[in-house]
C-alpha cells in the first residue's frame, strides 16, 4: 500500500508540474520565453525537491509487522519458528535473545529445539555474536540444556549465556529477540506472547502469538538496552560457563561433607555422580562426636554451634538420584539433613545440604573412623591448623 501511495503522489506531482507549465506557456508571449523557461525549471525543481523531502520523511517510518498465531488445534507455532530461524540464520551482526527455552517433552518439541539451535549455530559460524538470557531452567528434561551446553563448548568466543530470575514487566511476554540493531534497515525485534490453553485436564501457558517488528532501529536499540540491563544486574543474573553449567542449569545437589565422606573415593562408591567443586567451611560451628555410629563402636562426627570457630570440609555436587541414595545411607533415624550457607573457597557463599547427628552425648570418636577423616582432610588440602584440631581428637579415640 505504501509503494502504491508513493507512485500515486509521483504521478500527481508530475501532472501538476505539466499543468503549471502549460498555463505558463499560454500566458507568456514570444518576448517572454526566457522568463517562461526560468519559471518552468523552478516548478519542476520544486516538484522533485518536494518528492525527495517526502521520501526522506517517510523513510523514518517504514517499519513492518508480521504476526504469527498458533492454530487452535496445534501445540506449536511452527510457522513462527520457521520465520524466526530464517531471521537468525541471516543475521549480520549481534543477536540478543531472551526466553525460557524448550521443554522438549515430545518428538516435535525436540525437533523445534534442534532446528532453533541449528539456526543459532549458523549465525555463530558467520561470526555473529549471540547473547542468550535464559529466564527459566528445565531440570526434569535436559534436552534443551544439552543444546545450550553444545553452543557454549563449540563457540566460546561468540556465544554468551546468562540466567536470570527476573522477567520483563509485560504480562505474558515469553521471549524477546533483537537482531541487527545497528542496521538502519533489516533489523528485527521479535516478541512471543503466551496464551492460556487447556492441555488434557490442566491449563498451561503456551507460546501463542509471535510478532516481528522489522526496520525499526529505535525499538531495536531500546529492547537491546533492556536486555543488557538485565544481564548487568549482578544480583539477579549469573553468567553461565562450561565450568558452572551443570551446577546452574542441571538439577544438581550440593553437599557439604566434614566427616569421612570428604574421601572422594568413598563418595564415588556411594554416589557415582559426585564431583568435588571446592573446599569450604561453616562459620561459628565446631566439630563434635556426639553420637554412636550405626556401623562403628565409637562416636561419629557432627557439628554444633560455637562462637569464633570453623568447621572445614569438602563441597560436592551430585545428581538427584545419588542424593536420594545418600539420604538412605545417612540413616534418617541418626542424622537430620539441613541446608546451610557454606563459605566456598572458590565460589563464594553456597547453600549446601549437610547432615547433623541426632545427639546422644559426648562420645569418644571411633579410632579407624577418625583416621579416615584426617587422611581425607590431608588429601583435600584443608588448612593445616584445622587438620591439627582433628589430630588432637586422637587422645580421645577408642
Residue 95, Cβ density class (10 Å: 0-12 exposed, 13-18 middle, ≥19 buried): buried
Say if residue 138 carries a ligand binding annotation. no
CA dist., res. 306 & res. 284, Å (int): 5
Among the options 283, 330, 349, 360, which is catalytic? 330
Say if residue 162 carries a ligand binding annotation. no
Say if residue 255 carries a ligand binding annotation. yes
The candidate with the shortest Cα–Cα distance to 396, out of 376, 370, 372, 374, is 370
Where do we find the cell 508530475? 14
Say if residue 258 carries a ligand binding annotation. yes
DSSP readout, 62-122? --EEEEEE--TT-SS-HHHHHHHHHHHHT--S-EEEEE------SHHHHHHHHHHHHHHHH
- Tell me the pTM: 0.55
Say if residue 309 carries a ligand binding annotation. no
- Taken in order of first residue, the domains within the chain and their CATH numbers are 64-248 (3.30.870.10), 251-396 (3.10.490.10)
What lies within 8 Å, CB to CB, of 186 at 6+ separation is: 92, 180, 214, 215
Per-residue pLDDT of the chain (398 residues; tens, 9 = 90+): 444 445 555 554 555 555 555 555 555 555 555 555 555 555 555 555 555 545 544 445 567 888 988 887 777 888 999 999 999 999 999 999 998 888 777 888 889 999 999 999 999 999 999 999 988 665 556 788 889 999 999 999 999 999 886 554 445 678 899 999 888 888 999 998 877 666 555 555 666 788 999 999 999 999 999 999 988 887 778 899 988 887 677 767 899 999 999 999 999 999 998 989 999 999 999 999 988 877 777 888 999 999 999 999 999 988 878 888 888 888 888 899 999 999 998 888 888 999 999 988 888 888 888 999 999 999 999 999 999 999 998 877 65
Task: Answer yes or no: are the C-beta atoms of 343 and 256 closer than 8 Å.
Answer: no
* pLDDT at res. 143: 83
Strands (E), the chain: 64-69, 95-99, 130-134, 159-164, 173-179, 188-199, 202-214, 237-240, 252-257, 275-292, 299-319, 335-344, 348-357
3-state secondary structure of 170: coil
Say if residue 32 carries a ligand binding annotation. no
Active site residue 330: yes
* pLDDT at res. 256: 95
Residue 178 φ/ψ, nearest 5 degrees: -115, 125
CA dist., res. 32 & res. 50, Å (int): 27
CA dist., res. 78 & res. 68, Å (int): 9
Say if residue 257 carries a ligand binding annotation. yes
* pLDDT at res. 13: 54
Amino acid at each position: 500500500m505504501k509503494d502504491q501511495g508513493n507512485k500515486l503522489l509521483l504521478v500527481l506531482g508530475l501532472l501538476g508540474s505539466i499543468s503549471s507549465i502549460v498555463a505558463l506557456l499560454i500566458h507568456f508571449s514570444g518576448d517572454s520565453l526566457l522568463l517562461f523557461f526560468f519559471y518552468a525549471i523552478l516548478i519542476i525543481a520544486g516538484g522533485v525537491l518536494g518528492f525527495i523531502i517526502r521520501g526522506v520523511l517517510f523513510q523514518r517510518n517504514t517499519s513492518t509487522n508480521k504476526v504469527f498465531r498458533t492454530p487452535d488445534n496445534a501445540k506449536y507455532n511452527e510457522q513462527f519458528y520457521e520465520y524466526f530461524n530464517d531471521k537468525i540464520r541471516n543475521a549480520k551482526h549481534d543477536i540478543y535473545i531472551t526466553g525460557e527455552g524448550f521443554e522438549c517433552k515430545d518428538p516435535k518439541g525436540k525437533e523445534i529445539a534442534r532446528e532453533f539451535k541449528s539456526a543459532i549455530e549458523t549465525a555463530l559460524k558467520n561470526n555473529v555474536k549471540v547473547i542468550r538470557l535464559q529466564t527459566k531452567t528445565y531440570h526434569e528434561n535436559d534436552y534443551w540444556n544439552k543444546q545450550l551446553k553444545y553452543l557454549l563448548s563449540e563457540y566460546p568466543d561468540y556465544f554468551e549465556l546468562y540466567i536470570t530470575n527476573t522477567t520483563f514487566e509485560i504480562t505474558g511476554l515469553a521471549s524477546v529477540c533483537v537482531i541487527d540493531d545497528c542496521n538502519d534497515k533489516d533489523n528485527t525485534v521479535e516478541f512471543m506472547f503466551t496464551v492460556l490453553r487447556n492441555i488434557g485436564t490442566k491449563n498451561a501457558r503456551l507460546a501463542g502469538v509471535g510478532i516481528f517488528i522489522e526496520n525499526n532501529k529505535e525499538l531495536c536499540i531500546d529492547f537491546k538496552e533492556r536486555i543488557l540491563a538485565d544481564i548487568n544486574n549482578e544480583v539477579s543474573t549469573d553468567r553461565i560457563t562450561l565450568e558452572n553449567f551443570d551446577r546452574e542449569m542441571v538439577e544438581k545437589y550440593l553437599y557439604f561433607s566434614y566427616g569421612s565422606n570428604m574421601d572422594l573415593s568413598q563418595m564415588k562408591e556411594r554416589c557415582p555422580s559426585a564431583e568435588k567443586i571446592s573446599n569450604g567451611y561453616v562459620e561459628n560451628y565446631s566439630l563434635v562426636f556426639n553420637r554412636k555410629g550405626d556401623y562403628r563402636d565409637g562416636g561419629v562426627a557432627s557439628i554444633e554451634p560455637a562462637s569464633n570457630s570453623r568447621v572445614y570440609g569438602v563441597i560436592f555436587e551430585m545428581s538427584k538420584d545419588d542424593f536420594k541414595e545418600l539420604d538412605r545411607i545417612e540413616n534418617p533415624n541418626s542424622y537430620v539433613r539441613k541446608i546451610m550457607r557454606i563459605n566456598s573457597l572458590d565460589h563464594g557463599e553456597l547453600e549446601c545440604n549437610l547432615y547433623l547427628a541426632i545427639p546422644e552425648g559426648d562420645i569418644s570418636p571411633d579410632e579407624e573412623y577418625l583416621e579416615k577423616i584426617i587422611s581425607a582432610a590431608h588429601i583435600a588440602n584443608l588448612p593445616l591448623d584445622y587438620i591439627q584440631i582433628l589430630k588432637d581428637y586422637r587422645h580421645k579415640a577408642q
